């Protein structure tokens, strides 16, 4: 996705530094990716939410990244953000992720110093567009019900509640949010 195609969410500040969004590659450091996830999720951990990314080991980062298409945002040669796109899985938990035509977002993080500058919105738009290319009709994600700031963030980007789930081992119940993926027409 080129910087020229970027349209910020209403009221979102622009990132003035060029950011490259690309697939995670073999030369990318999974250790660095894991540390980014830890930093980005530390505030949520401090709120009492034991998200997997709060303290997952490098091997878990690898498994989750390989479970879909993992994208990284590179800003000034440094890892600035990440998101993984998953496709429909008949054995999915939550079951909403297994619906026909569904794609889902996981392992989504932006470097804390860069949060609030539009990078997260760019990453979401990137995977939404990729999901469209792959034929998905809808995309979903989940977050803790108590993470109301994240729920508001996703709702401002067109997501709405489609389910609730309590994942094993988690200290919280999650809300599943979905968004229809309309087909792009024209150039």
Residue 162 has pLDDT above 80, yes or no: yes
Task: Give the confidence band of 96 by pLDDT, cuts at 50, 70, 90.
Answer: confident
Q: What is the pLDDT of residues 11-60, one digit of tens each?
A: 555 545 689 999 999 999 999 999 999 999 999 999 999 999 999 999 99
Domain boundaries defined on the chain: 18-137
DSSP-H helix ranges across 19-169: 30-46, 58-66, 119-133, 148-155
Mean pLDDT along residues 113-138? 95
CA distance 155 to 51: 20
Q: Determine the pLDDT at residue 88.
A: 66
Mean pLDDT over 101-106 rounds to 92
Class of domain 18-137: alpha beta
- The structure's pTM equals 0.86
Task: Give DSSP secondary structure letters for 129-180.
Answer: HHHHHTT-SEEEEEEETT-HHHHHHHHTTT-EEEEEE--TT-SS-EEEEEEE
């Amino acid at each position: 996705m080129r910087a020229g195609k970027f349209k910020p969410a209403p009221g979102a500040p622009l990132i003035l530094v060029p950011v490259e969004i690309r697939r995670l590659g073999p030369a990318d450091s999974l250790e660095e990716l894991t540390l980014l996830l830890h930093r980005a999720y530390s505030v949520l951990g401090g709120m009492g939410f034991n998200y997997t990314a709060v303290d997952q080991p490098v091997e878990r980062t690898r498994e989750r990244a390989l479970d879909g298409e993992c994208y990284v945002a590179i800003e000034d040669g440094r890892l600035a953000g990440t998101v993984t796109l998953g496709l429909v899985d008949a054995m999915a938990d939550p079951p909403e992720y297994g619906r026909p035509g569904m794609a889902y977002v996981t392992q989504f993080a932006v470097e804390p110093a860069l949060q609030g500058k539009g990078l997260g919105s760019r990453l979401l738009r990137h995977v939404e567009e990729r999901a469209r290319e792959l034929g998905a009709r809808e995309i979903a994600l989940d977050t803790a019900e108590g993470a109301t700031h994240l729920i508001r963030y996703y709702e401002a980007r067109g997501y709405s509640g489609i389910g609730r789930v309590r994942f094993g081992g988690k200290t919280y119940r999650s809300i599943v949010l979905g968004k229809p993926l309309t087909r792009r027409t024209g150039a």
